[in-house]
Structure 1
Amino acid sequence: MNGAVARPLGAVMLDLAGTVPTDAEREMLRHAQTGGVILFARNYESPGQLRELTGGIRRLREPELLIAVDHEGGRVQRFQSGFTRIPAMSEIGKLLPAEQAHRAAYCAGLVIAVELISHGLDFSFAPVLDVDYGRSSAIGTRAFSSDPARIGELAGAFMQGLRNGGAASVGKHFPGHGFVQADSHVAAPVDERALAELERSDLVPYARLIPRGLDAVMPAHVIYPRVDARPAGFSPRWLKEILRGRLGFR
């Protein structure tokens, strides 16, 4: 794994209520089981305030906590004022010729990485590898395309941009959130497709990017009952047998 994600840390990632950690939050961040912090729009006022916040978090302990954010572009970009506005990935996916889309995806990843790292963060939870089936309001324009192969190509360029900018890549939402209508933030979506169908579609971007060094994977809070009764994020079948065993993720 990328060194930015491989520090020996706890397994829990916490969030903060505001722009400055409270005493209670600082205590939780120092706990041995804490591995990182995810920031949201509520934690951001200005570039200077963000640098002060991340610097303070880093000074809390050794090894330093990981600091991350959902900063994909489009409607999922937590820091806006003072940051480059990145288009939705679906807009990049529509560009022609293919070389133009590839370049735009690379540049989006590079800009995101450089801006986040210069403000004291380690990475964004990106790229989105979900297939746009036109069914999921939670995914929608966050997806590059309805074509799994095109997603793999453009997300690969985006990933290279992140890497050249010094940030890790996090593919999400494994094995795929695009086919279900319910939003997994507020419900428990169920995808009734068989594994063979998922392998021909949603798993294609992962199969292409894992050999290229995809640093991390965020599982979907989706149940695929024809594969396992548990949500993917709690499923040894999905995480050990399929992600690590078949796809070779390390």
Structure 2
Amino acid sequence: MGPVMADLLGPVLTETDRALLDCSSLGGLIFFSRNFTDVDQLQALVHAVRALRPELLLCVDHEGGRVQRFRDGFTPLPAAGALLQRAEGDVALATRWAREMGWLMAAELRAMDIDFSFAPVLDRNGCSDVIGLRAFAEQPEQIIALAGAYIDGMAEAGMACVGKHFPGHGSVKADSHVAAPIDPRPLAQIQADDLPPFIGLADKLDAIMPAHVTYPQVDSRPAGYSPVWIQQILRQQMQYRGVVFSDDLGMAGAAVVGDMLARTQAALDAGCDIALICNQTEAAIEVAKQIAPWPTVPAPIQALRGQPGSDRVTLRDSERWQKAQQLAVAFERFTMLAKP
């Protein structure tokens, strides 16, 4: 097991997928919508992976709103930003809802033996094209309250959390999936506007994912490639001891340092523990063949494994699931009614 995380080509294992799973430096898999048709298929795929590599971390982007990879058979979850909107600014009410939505998301995934979701988003709802309602709020203190409750709900369902996108993606407009965003603000302003949720929730965060954003007044390199951000600010100044994932190294914002091997090495050299390579399975295999596995799996990474949860039938029979599912459905109706 090692510091490379990649993905599968489709809903069943292919020979290429099996070649990836043969790589000793593979530490985990991230699932996408193309890996899902229904819950039975997903369960079979997870079982097939576990039979070959039971130690791998299995994860997914399952925030809610427009970022929810599994749909049919899963509860449609509200976007994080819908909670405070629906509560009409009542932070206490939105916080209670956040805890239940965090628990619901995590409980449904743990019932399928998915270890964790890359959640929650700790960015502020500022000017970003890609963040928006993926963020809980605009004000740091509101983000801390809501995301903290969401993390508590995840933990109650046996799931670790990943805060993203350090030190904050919400204040830069460009989308790092398709561009290389630059945030020209000074460090003092970033510390005032964007860093507080990461600082305030640092003790709760099992893992953190840096942004593919460059903050040139701090470092000329994007945060995910920056020893200044990861080693000096996150590790030394903030005393953060959890796992650091790179964001997807296949994104345009990550392309500034060369080919996939160069990107992976740059992320690991900067201080990332796991390099995430999505939508480029062949490249991931080539990288995994050249990156050494861990001699032993670091304890913070072992801690990302999901805790035992209820099976789907038991979960759906539970009172908490039924109430949380009804709440999520009510959000969906509210969102539909609110559309122009």
Could you state the TM-score of these two structures normalised by the residue count of structure 2? 0.69
Larger Rg computed on CA atoms: 2
* Counterpart among 113, 118, 121 of residue 120 in structure 1: 113
Amino acid at match of 1:197: Q
State the match for 1:216 in structure 2. Answer: 207
Structure 2, unmatched stretches of 5+, are 242-340
Output one character per residue of 1:125-162: Cα deviation in whole Å (capped at 9) or x when no partner: 000000111x2120011011110110011000000001
Paired residues of 1:206 and 1:247 also in contact (CA < 8 A): no
Structure 1, unmatched stretches of 5+, are 1-8
Q: Does 1:45 align with 2:37?
A: yes
Q: Does 1:110 align with 2:108?
A: no
Aligned-residue Cα RMSD (Å) equals: 1.0
State the match for 1:241 in structure 2. Answer: 232
Q: Determine the C-alpha separation between the residues in 1 that align with 2:230 and 2:141.
A: 22
Structure number having the greater strand percentage:
1
* Counterpart among 55, 58, 63 of residue 50 in structure 2: 58
State the match for 1:13 in structure 2. Answer: 5
State the match for 1:176 in structure 2. Answer: 168
Output one character per residue of 1:144-203: Cα deviation in whole Å (capped at 9) or x when no partner: 111011001100000000111001100000111111111101110000111111111110
Structure number having the greater helix percentage:
2
Output one character per residue of 1:40-63: Cα deviation in whole Å (capped at 9) or x when no partner: 11110111111111111111125x
State the match for 2:315 in structure 1. Answer: none
Could you state the TM-score of these two structures normalised by the residue count of structure 1? 0.93
Q: Determine the C-alpha separation between the residues in 1 that align with 2:74 and 2:2.
A: 30
Amino acid at match of 2:218: V
Q: Determine the C-alpha separation between the residues in 2 that align with 1:119 and 1:138.
A: 28
Q: Determine the C-alpha separation between the residues in 1 that align with 2:34 and 2:219.
A: 36
- 1:141 is paired with a residue whose SS is helix
Q: Determine which structure has greater relative contact order: mean sequence separation of CA pairs < 8 Å that are 6+ residues apart, divided by chain length.
A: 2
Paired residues of 2:125 and 2:138 also in contact (CA < 8 A): yes
Output one character per residue of 1:4-63: Cα deviation in whole Å (capped at 9) or x when no partner: xxxxx311111111101211211212211111111011110111111111111111125x
Amino acid at match of 1:156: G
Aligned residues: 239
Q: Determine the C-alpha separation between the residues in 1 that align with 2:4 and 2:28.
A: 7
Identity of aligned residues (%): 51
Paired residues of 1:14 and 1:36 also in contact (CA < 8 A): yes
Q: Determine the C-alpha separation between the residues in 2 that align with 1:61 and 1:19.
A: 17
- 2:52 is paired with a residue whose SS is coil
- 2:47 is paired with a residue whose SS is helix
State the match for 2:223 in structure 1. Answer: 232
- 2:27 is paired with a residue whose SS is strand
* Counterpart among 6, 27, 36 of residue 19 in structure 2: 27
* Counterpart among 72, 77, 102 of residue 68 in structure 2: 77
Please identify, of 95-104 and 35-44, the stretch whose mean Cα deviation from structure 2 is larger: 95-104
Q: Determine the C-alpha separation between the residues in 1 that align with 2:179 and 2:124.
A: 20
State the match for 1:144 in structure 2. Answer: 136
